[in-house]
């Protein structure tokens, strides 16, 4: 039996897997699991060391040191980890929640308290604590927004939480860092941090905005996948386009929101982003294309312009 005890360590990785998986309750719950894992690990370790010590004593050799030294090291490290876990408090108290949904190959954004949706690009108030809740619809994704000191995973079936606070106005760019397929590098995120008056003005304008009715060609070719709030277009496979004209970029933060890039996108999105779920529309007439481009330009309240914050470089 004693000889078998060290074998128990082989079971520990199973627990360790638990400890690195985020829970619905956020990082706090995750830390509880880390604490349980650490406790079980330490108990098992001390038990083995103790048995080893007794055996060494019986034989009376200098091997005792081999057991004492690592035990002291582990005890000290364990105490430090324990103290850190004990002092952890979830941040909480966020002024605003922003939900991110990762999917092939774009980030959906939703502001649950404001009823506002976007894709690839969103807005946050400078200085306020924003709670980011990330989910995934299909694969395992990972997001890094270096300017906001944010790295988080988006995992199917769970919500991961993190808190960010932008110190200065500007654009905070994020990248998706997990390999998820041929368009891994074309799944970016842009958060525009606005001074709070400007953020408030945006919210008010968005709430008073009534999107125009889509043209016939949009209803027949695009509405199955795209929503425009308050209209017959209610598809959910692709991004919500209600505020499309407010975005400085499209395609999950990749291309500047300008006709020169939008036109080829509508004609052949998979040609620009391999693996995308939006089909190519090579058969659209020039008049239909014009109607679609003109409609997209009208999606968003007028008089808001964020281009001063951002210098969009051509890819």
Given 136, 252, 300, 301, the residue binding ligand HEC (CB under 6 A): 252
Q: Does 180 bind ligand HEC (CB under 6 A)?
A: no
Given 250, 272, 299, 301, the residue binding ligand HEC (CB under 6 A): 250
Tokens of 200: 């408030």
CA distance 72 to 36: 20
Touching ligand HEC, residues 217-246 (CB under 6 A): 221-222, 224-226, 237-239, 244
Start-to-end C-alpha separation, the chain: 64
212-218 own/partner pairs: CB under 8 Å, 24+ apart: 212/295, 212/298, 212/299, 214/295, 215/291, 215/292, 215/295, 217/284, 217/288, 217/291, 217/292, 218/291, 218/292, 218/295
Given 266, 299, 300, 301, the residue binding ligand HEC (CB under 6 A): 266
Q: 37-70 burial, b if ≥16 CB within 10 A, otherwise e? A: bbeebbebbeebbebbbeebeeeeeeeeeebeee
Given 136, 190, 273, 301, the residue binding ligand HEC (CB under 6 A): 273
For residue 188, the minimal CB distance to ligand HEC (Å) is 10
Touching ligand HEC, residues 57-116 (CB under 6 A): 105-106
Total residues at the site for ligand HEC (CB under 6 A)?
26
List of residues 6+ apart from 254 with CB closer than 8 A: 120, 186, 188, 273, 315
Q: Does 256 bind ligand HEC (CB under 6 A)?
A: no
Given 279, 297, 298, 307, the residue binding ligand HEC (CB under 6 A): 279
Given 52, 125, 251, 300, the residue binding ligand HEC (CB under 6 A): 251
By beta-carbon proximity to ligand HEC, the closer residue of 9 and 179 is: 179
For residue 176, the minimal CB distance to ligand HEC (Å) is 11
Site mask for ligand HEC (CB under 6 A), range 292-311, x = bound: x---x---------------
For residue 42, the minimal CB distance to ligand HEC (Å) is 46
Applying CB under 6 A, the residues found at the interface with ligand HEC are 105-106, 119-120, 221-222, 224-226, 237-239, 244, 247, 250-252, 266, 273, 276-279, 281, 292, 296
């Amino acid at each position: 039996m004693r000889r078998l005890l060290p074998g128990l360590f082989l079971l520990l990785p199973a627990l360790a897997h638990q400890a690195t998986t985020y829970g619905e309750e956020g990082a706090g719950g995750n830390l509880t699991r880390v604490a349980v894992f650490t406790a079980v690990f330490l108990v098992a370790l001390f038990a083995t060391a103790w048995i080893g010590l007794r055996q060494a004593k019986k034989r009376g050799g200098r091997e005792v040191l081999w057991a004492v030294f690592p035990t002291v090291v582990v005890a000290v490290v364990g105490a430090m980890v324990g103290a850190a876990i004990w002092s952890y408090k979830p941040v909480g108290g966020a002024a605003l929640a922003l939900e991110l949904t990762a999917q092939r190959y774009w980030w959906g954004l939703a502001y649950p308290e404001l009823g506002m949706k976007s894709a690839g690009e969103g807005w946050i108030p400078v200085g306020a604590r924003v709670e980011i809740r990330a989910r995934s619809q299909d694969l395992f994704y990972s997001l890094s927004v270096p300017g906001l000191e944010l790295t988080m995973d988006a995992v199917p079936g769970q919500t991961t939480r993190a808190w960010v606070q932008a110190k200065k106005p500007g654009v905070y760019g994020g990248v998706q860092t997990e390999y998820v397929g041929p368009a891994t590098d074309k799944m970016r995120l842009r958060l525009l941090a606005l001074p709070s008056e400007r953020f408030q003005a945006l919210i008010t304008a968005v709430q008073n905005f009534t999107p125009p009715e889509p043209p016939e060609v949009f209803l027949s070719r695009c509405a199955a996948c795209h929503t425009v709030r308050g209209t017959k277009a209610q598809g959910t496979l692709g991004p919500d386009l209600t505020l499309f004209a407010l975005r400085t970029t499209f395609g999950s933060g990749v291309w500047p929101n300008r006709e020169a890039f939008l036109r080829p996108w509508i004609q052949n999105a998979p040609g620009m982003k391999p693996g995308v779920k939006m089909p190519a529309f090579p058969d659209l007439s020039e008049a239909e294309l014009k109607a679609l481009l003109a409609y997209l330009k009208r999606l968003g309240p007028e008089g808001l312009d964020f281009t001063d914050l951002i210098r969009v470089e051509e890819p």
